[in-house]
Amino acid sequence: MRDVGSKLTDFRAGVTAVDCDYVRPKLAASHLVVDGGRAAFVDTGTTHSVPNLLAALAARGIWRGDVDWVLTTHVHLDHAGGAGALMRELPNARCAVHPRGARHLAEPSKLIAGSIAVYGEKRFSDLYGEIVPVDESRIFIVGDGTRIRLGARELEMIHTPGHALHHYCIVDRANEMVFSGDTFGISYRDFDVEGRAFIFPTTTPVHFDPEALCRSVDRLMSYRPRSIFLTHYAEVTDLERLSREMKERVLAYADLGARCRDAADRADKLRRGMFAMMASWLDAHGFPRDDGERHRLLDDDIELNCQGIENWLDRT
């Protein structure tokens, strides 16, 4: 059997983070949630991630037929690119998706074209491989407040625009936890300092909306969770501080965008400004590594974030 030991991290209440092996270790997680012998995946990574997800089931003694749900928080390809390939392996699962995302999963050509525009053809195929459509009859459309069963637990889906219009988060009230996809930003474990997490927003094209994103963060916090599970990467606690910093940083991004709006070298100015801003936050956080390491860990996100902010500037 494939050795997945190092790729699984167990948390409370039957939650396991599975490393999707996307770009680098511990960059993207799929969360396996098990309750009373039934299972769900929250986000899937890419088609390349599917073997890790299946190995996680085997490692936890779950039969593929006992997976009831594949929950895709939104259809960005690092979250749902593997949904079609995964669904082929799970005979009884339904794939839950926001109404705006459903057609993209059933017919992914527009999604593929959009991602090639962001990444270029070569990088796209390295990152995502083949995108398998999800059989339309197995798609479950999620409304705001839709509740589903997983074993003995109830999961509530709530719409959370701001990162993407078609984004929903999953609330487990009884276990005081939320699965946030990209709505609660990014917190790579590489940046932990003495157990304290570092957080920043992700503003990937083409739906960034700073005010909506801050409202969505407040909405997640209104459930008073003890843990939030981020796709990038896994559990964070200390949520009062992190939610405050998230909202401050969303506004700081928007502010930076506004200051660069009319610059002749807008794209460069924005990217330099964002790195400088992130570096100052990392300094305040006590992160000891130098600029080389910071660029290695942040440059992909800075590029995506700046593309999203430029798209927002052009829309508003």
Q: Which residues bind Zn ion (CB under 5 A)?
A: 76, 182, 204
Q: How far is the CB of 79 from Zn ion (least distance, A)?
A: 6
Q: Closer to Zn ion by CB, 19 or 182: give it.
A: 182
Q: How far is the CB of 222 from Zn ion (least distance, A)?
A: 22
Instruction: Give, rounded to a whole angstrom, the gap between the first and last alpha carbons of the chain.
Output: 52
Q: Closer to Zn ion by CB, 182 or 245: give it.
A: 182
Burial-class residue 143 by CB neighbours within 10 Å (0-12, 13-18, 19+): exposed
- Cα separation, 131 vs 222, in Å, equals 36
Q: Closer to Zn ion by CB, 59 or 214: give it.
A: 214
Start-end of H helices in 60-120: 77-80, 83-89, 99-106, 109-119
With beta carbons less than 8 A apart as the criterion, state whether 129 and 47 touch: yes
Q: Closer to Zn ion by CB, 54 or 213: give it.
A: 213
Q: Closer to Zn ion by CB, 153 or 163: give it.
A: 163
How many CB atoms are located within 10 Å of the residue 110 CB? 11
How many CB atoms are located within 10 Å of the residue 304 CB? 17
- Cα separation, 202 vs 293, in Å, equals 19
Q: How far is the CB of 231 from Zn ion (least distance, A)?
A: 8
Q: Closer to Zn ion by CB, 182 or 301: give it.
A: 182
Q: How far is the CB of 225 from Zn ion (least distance, A)?
A: 20
Position with the least CB separation from Zn ion? 76
DSSP secondary structure of 42-81: E----GGGHHHHHHHHHHTT--GGGEEEEE-S---HHHHT
Q: Closer to Zn ion by CB, 55 or 302: give it.
A: 302
Among residues 208, 233, 24, the alpha carbon closest in space to that of 127 is found at: 24
- Cα separation, 237 vs 227, in Å, equals 5
With beta carbons less than 8 A apart as the criterion, state whether 161 and 209 touch: yes
- Cα separation, 232 vs 177, in Å, equals 16
Pairing type for strands 94-97 and 139-141 reads parallel
Q: How far is the CB of 20 from Zn ion (least distance, A)?
A: 13
Pairing type for strands 29-35 and 38-42 reads antiparallel
Q: Closer to Zn ion by CB, 76 or 94: give it.
A: 76
Q: How far is the CB of 202 from Zn ion (least distance, A)?
A: 6
Q: How far is the CB of 74 from Zn ion (least distance, A)?
A: 6
Q: How far is the CB of 78 from Zn ion (least distance, A)?
A: 7
